[in-house]
């Protein structure tokens, strides 16, 4: 088994997959804690559908790198959704559902109507569930992912205390002069960026799992914000590594395997939390 892994890791694309996988899992887990606590868990899900739609649009223009279309569109929707949840006639969850399902439908429609590919359902399945795309990353994708991850982690470190304050009590933060709206915007933009990156890894339907699972698992046991964040990061990286290794050895789809490992960890943490609570 070890021999097989050593053999695989001589291929650059396997190394890339591991590196990108770990970085994406790390970034999404950092943000996940805030999103879960702010009751924004579903924003990740909604945005990933938007990213799917955007990808379909990008494929129409036959771009060499679809990021140019997907990233700005997803960031824009994130901003609209966040503004919407504050002051719109259509309330938060409804507008979220509209945008996400709408984008999914339009995306699928465009792919079917205009795609030049002979295997549309295969393409759709890849975009939704990630399947093998992580093993087809090229150098540009890898570098893009590294740069974005560094930016996300840097932002998080720099604004850690502000993010805590805005998450714990937005009104108090605003009242004492913290520009909570700007930080909410920052959180939305970072979320959108991570989701676009993560689509390569687990596909758009499974991204929410990367965002939510490490956070809720950590909250079963840990009782301070810092420890929850650190534990989420560790869980996320652990699950990504184990998931990718299993998927290489057992030839299972990468995204689904990582999510499955996350579910197992959640089960274990819940059990420990329940025992410790008694």
Nearest approach in angstroms of CB 219 to other proteins is 5
Nearest approach in angstroms of CB 162 to other proteins is 7
Nearest approach in angstroms of CB 171 to other proteins is 5
Residues 217-236 that bind other proteins (CB under 8 A): 218-219, 222-228
Q: Pick one of 2, 157, 250, 275: the residue that binds other proteins (CB under 8 A).
A: 157
Burial class (CB in 10 A: 0-12, 13-18, 19+), 252: middle
* Closer residue to other proteins, CB minimum distance, 147 or 175: 175
Nearest approach in angstroms of CB 152 to other proteins is 15
CA distance 21 to 92: 31
Nearest approach in angstroms of CB 229 to other proteins is 10
CA-closest candidate to residue 266, choices 245, 246, 236, 229: 236
Residue-by-residue DSSP string for 229-263: HHHHHHHHHHHHHHHHHHHHHHT--HHHHHHHHHH
Q: Chain centroid to CA 78: how far?
A: 13
C-alpha atoms less than 13 angstroms from C-alpha of 275 in its C-beta half-sphere: 6
CA distance 69 to 59: 10
CA distance 112 to 273: 47
Q: Pick one of 54, 144, 165, 233: the residue that binds other proteins (CB under 8 A).
A: 165
Residue 87 binds to other proteins (criterion: CB under 8 A): no
* Closer residue to other proteins, CB minimum distance, 207 or 215: 215
Size of the site for other proteins (CB under 8 A): 31
Could you tell me if 206 and 130 are in contact, meaning their C-beta atoms sit under 8 angstroms apart?
A: yes
Q: Chain centroid to CA 52: how far?
A: 13
Residues 32-51 that bind other proteins (CB under 8 A): 37-39
Nearest approach in angstroms of CB 37 to other proteins is 6
Residue 83 binds to other proteins (criterion: CB under 8 A): no
Query: Crossing angle of helices 180-202/67-87, nearest 10°?
Result: 140
* Closer residue to other proteins, CB minimum distance, 191 or 218: 218
Which region holds residue 39: left if phi is over 0, alpha if psi is between -120 and 50, else beta?
left
* Closer residue to other proteins, CB minimum distance, 129 or 266: 266
* Closer residue to other proteins, CB minimum distance, 64 or 176: 176
Nearest approach in angstroms of CB 61 to other proteins is 40
> DSSP state, 73?
H
Residue 172 binds to other proteins (criterion: CB under 8 A): yes
Q: Pick one of 1, 61, 89, 177: the residue that binds other proteins (CB under 8 A).
A: 177
CA distance 83 to 170: 15
Per CB under 8 A, residues contacting other proteins are 37-39, 157-162, 164-165, 167-169, 171-178, 218-219, 222-228
């Amino acid at each position: 088994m070890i021999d097989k892994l050593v053999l695989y890791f001589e291929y650059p694309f396997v190394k890339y997959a591991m590196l990108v996988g770990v970085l994406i899992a790390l970034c999404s887990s950092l943000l996940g804690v805030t999103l879960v606590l702010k009751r924004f868990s579903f924003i990740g899900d909604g945005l990933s559908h938007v990213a799917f739609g955007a990808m379909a649009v990008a494929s129409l223009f036959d771009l060499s790198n679809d990021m140019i279309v997907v990233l700005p569109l997803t960031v824009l929707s994130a901003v609209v959704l966040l503004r919407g949840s504050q002051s719109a006639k259509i309330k938060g969850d409804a507008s979220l559902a509209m945008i996400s399902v709408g984008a999914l439908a339009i995306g699928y429609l465009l792919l079917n109507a205009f795609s030049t590919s002979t295997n549309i359902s295969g393409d759709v399945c890849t975009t939704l569930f990630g399947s093998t795309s992580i093993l087809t990353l090229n150098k540009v994708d890898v570098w893009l992912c590294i740069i974005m991850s560094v930016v996300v982690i840097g932002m998080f470190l720099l604004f850690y205390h502000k993010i805590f304050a805005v998450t714990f009590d937005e009104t108090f933060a605003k009242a004492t002069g913290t520009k909570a709206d700007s930080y909410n915007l920052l959180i939305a933009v970072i979320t959108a960026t991570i989701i676009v990156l993560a689509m390569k890894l687990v596909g758009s339907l499974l991204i929410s799992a990367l965002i939510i699972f490490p956070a809720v698992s950590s909250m079963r046991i840990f009782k301070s914000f810092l420890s929850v964040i650190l534990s989420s990061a560790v869980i996320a990286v652990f699950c990504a590594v184990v998931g990718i290794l299993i998927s290489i050895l057992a030839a299972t789809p990468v995204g689904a395997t990582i999510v499955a490992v996350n579910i197992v960890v959640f089960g274990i943490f819940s059990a420990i939390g329940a025992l410790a609570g008694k």
